[in-house]
Amino acid sequence: MPKRFVVAAFDFSELPRYAVDFELAEALSVAAQQLHETSTSQHTLRTAVRLAVHLLPGAEHADISVLERETRRRTLAWTDELVRTAAALSPDGDQQGHWSDLWTTPVAAIEDSAAGDGGRGRSLSGLGLRSVLSMRLRADRRKLTVLTVYAREPGAFDESATRIGRLFTAHVSIALDSVTVREQLTEAMRTRDLIGQATGILMERLDIDAAEAFDSLVRASQQENVKLRDIARHIVAARDGQ
């Protein structure tokens, strides 16, 4: 039977599980609120894996990983050390099987990792993780970001789990985009301030105007093949160290 419990905005253990669609909508609304209150992309990822275990029927563990073509999977966030170990032990056969499916389809599942299926999931079975459901969060030509949930029982994820998972990953993707933009704007402001400080230091040190000082930073960046903000940071740090 579906589990039901009270909505609590900041307590994962009391996140409402759905019984009918309006309860699912309520649970997703609470999840979206918690995701959008995160302050960094890493915080968003950690929140997402914890929420996934509470929202998706049958889910016991979760991780978010990045798949890059021609390379192994890299785990970004996880609910516990078991799934972190699973990611580290996944052989190439798993990468070319279950994980490679995600380049062509938004969802990939393993019904029972102990069943073999051409070598897929053997390392998962050895850790007692029998069911796997992976869903894309972000995708481009070279890289995929994937949310994966696991269960100890075979066949744990049905169509309902997949449907809820797709709805949840849409919320996670939006939250990640939002926090990434905020981080980029914050970094841009910091970079602007840093370059402004470096420009002022050069103006005073070399008795030149702002345009000449900025041009000097640009030339140094090009000559040293170093980012402009790193050149500026070095100048400011050298001044502060005096």
Would residue 119 be called left, alpha or beta, if left means φ above 0 and alpha means ψ between -120 and 50 degrees? left
Q: 151 - beta bridge partners?
A: 131
Measured distance CA(47)–CA(227) in Å, rounded:
33
CA 169 to chain centre: 11
- Looking at residue 123, its amino acid is S
Residue 106 has pLDDT above 80, yes or no: yes
Q: Which pLDDT score, from 0 to 100, does residue 2 have?
A: 40
14-26, pLDDT tens digit by residue?
555 555 477 888 8
Residue 97 has pLDDT above 90, yes or no: no
Domains, the chain, in order of start with CATH, read 58-180 (3.30.450.40), 184-241 (1.10.10.10)
φ, ψ at 214 (rounded to 5°): -65, -45
Residue labelled with tokens 């481009």: 140
Q: Is 6 strand, coil or helix?
A: coil
Choice between 116 and 117, residue whose per-residue pLDDT is larger: 116
Count of alpha carbons within 13 Å of 19, Cβ hemisphere only? Answer: 7
Choice between 9 and 62, residue whose per-residue pLDDT is larger: 62
Beta strands in 152-203 (DSSP E): none
Q: Is 82 strand, coil or helix?
A: helix
**Strand 107-110 with 61-68, pairing:** unpaired
185-242, pLDDT tens digit by residue?
888 888 888 889 889 999 988 889 988 888 888 888 888 888 888 888 888 888 876 5
Q: Percent of the chain, pLDDT > 90?
A: 38
